[in-house]
Amino acid sequence: MPITLEINGHSQSILMDSSDQTLDTGTPIKSLKVNLDRTGFYLVRYVGSESLLWNSRLSAIDQWGIVFDAFAFLLSGKIAFPDYVNLLKRFTTTAEYLPIHEISDQLSFLNTIARPRISDFSRTFHRSQLDLLREKADENALVLREAVANRLTLVDEAYARELATNFKEYDSVPPDMKQAVALAYARSTEDYDSLIAAYRRSNSDEDKLRLLTAMTAFTHGQLVNQTLDFTLTTEVKRQDTRLILVTATGNPDARDNTWKWLQENIGKLEERYEGTGILSGTFLSIIPILGIGRVEEMKMFFTNHKIPDAEVGVNAGLERLLVYDRLARTLA
């Protein structure tokens, strides 16, 4: 396997043709990074040499690769959670799009499965990034600001209450902040009726989906069930039902309710998406989350309820569930 690396600022490539290989540099190493620009399909773990990595010049792709690999090692149990968080803290003030978006994605996932362990850092990270992004107007910054604001509303009650006040003028809210405002309003008020009314008034498919998404963020699980029930009506596009189910699955306050709803409405979902293969991808997304803490129950349900169109996604979802459940138990 070809390995690219940079030692003391000088790049080179070696062919690794055995499970273990030693490289004699012939000079003291002051900086080191491996897998330059992520050209190789392998993960890199720096054991006892982290200081050499931080002494290197790290491009945006290098930074993204470090964060991506760290999450894989966390999932596999090869690094401890405190070490993982300490690594992410090094990127709190970075201005690069790729690592910021990757960290935000990872924190969003961890908030879903282990909120008490990650919420403080997630709040700090997303607040610092939002401050950095306020004065930027380039396309990447707008995309990133939307994601950061959305996720901050889910971990910062004070920010959600502040942002929710803009909902009364929702139509005039900048497009990149509309989702965050709707999410903030749902989290802060639990006002299902006003969100439904706004959905029915809207003539924009994009805004309708934003409002439906916000209605999966309630802290009261029963309101999320009402939202899921609503997606089965003729007022909601068929393709939006599975999107909202996936979004609801990511709300840890409503996980039990969403699991119960899925069991009660599995037949309606089968009928709605029969012959499309859509349920396969849907189950691949939701089983690893909904099944946390109930692995055997989830296995039994899908053993007793075979869905030929979704078999591949169900099986893959159950495999991934074992990884996520193990991580959740480790972080509990």
Per-residue pLDDT, 329: 96
Cβ of 275: how many Cβ atoms within 10 Å?
7
86 confidence band (pLDDT: 50, 70, 90): very high
Interval 43-47 mean pLDDT:
93
Q: Within a domain: residue 107?
A: yes
**Domains held by the chain: number:** 2
Same domain as 147, residue 95: yes
pLDDT for the residue 244: 98
pLDDT at position 72 is: 97
Same domain for 96 and 38, yes or no, is: no
Residue 151 and residue 83 share a domain: yes
Domain assignment present for 18: yes
For the chain, state the CA radius of gyration: 22
Contacts by 183-187 with C-beta closer than 8 Å and gap 24+?
Answer: 183/150, 183/153, 183/154, 183/213, 183/214, 183/217, 184/153, 184/159, 184/160, 185/214, 186/214, 186/215, 186/217, 186/218, 187/153, 187/154, 187/157, 187/160, 187/217, 187/218, 187/219
- Whether 149 is covered by a domain: the verdict is yes
* Domain match, 2 and 32 both: yes
Domain-terminating residue out of 155, 183, 218: 155
Domain assignment of residue 272, yes or no: no
Are 83 and 150 in a shared domain?
yes
**Mean local confidence (pLDDT), 36-63:** 93
- Judged by DSSP in three states, 173 sits in coil
Please report, in angstroms and rounded to a whole number, the separation of the first and last CA atoms in the chain: 38
150 in the same domain as 93: yes
Exposed, middle or buried: residue 236 (CB in 10 Å: 0-12, 13-18, 19+)? middle
Domain membership of residue 132 (yes or no) is yes
- DSSP secondary structure letter of residue 43: -
Q: Are residues 151 and 86 in the same domain?
A: yes
HSE (side-chain half, CA atoms, 13 Å) at 66: 26
Asked if the structure places residue 72 within a domain, the reply is no
Check pLDDT > 80 for residue 267.
yes
The answer on pLDDT for 15 being more than 90 is no
Same domain membership, residue 42 and residue 82: no
- Is there a single domain that holds both residue 95 and residue 136? yes
Q: Please name every residue paired with 11 in a beta bridge, in sequence order, or none if there are none.
A: 6
Q: In terms of residue numbers, what domain contains 121? A: 78-155
Residue 132 Rama label (left phi>0; alpha psi -120 to 50; beta): alpha
Please check whether residues 82 and 151 belong to one and the same domain. yes
Which pLDDT does position 19 carry in this prediction?
A: 84
**Is 145 in the same domain as 114?**
yes
| pLDDT single digits (tens) 152-201 | 999 999 999 999 999 999 999 999 999 999 999 999 999 999 999 999 99
CA distance 139 to 117: 33
Whether 306 is in a domain gets the answer: no
Last residue of a domain, one of 124, 155, 186: 155
Which of 138, 155, 172 terminates a domain? The answer is: 155
Helix (H) or strand (E) holding 264: helix 255-273
Is the pLDDT at 26 greater than 80? The verdict is no
Residue 109 is assigned to a structural domain of this protein? yes
pLDDT digit string, tens, across residues 273-332: 998 889 999 999 999 999 999 999 999 999 999 999 899 999 999 999 999 999 999 999
Angstrom distance (rounded) from CA 310 to CA 276: 9
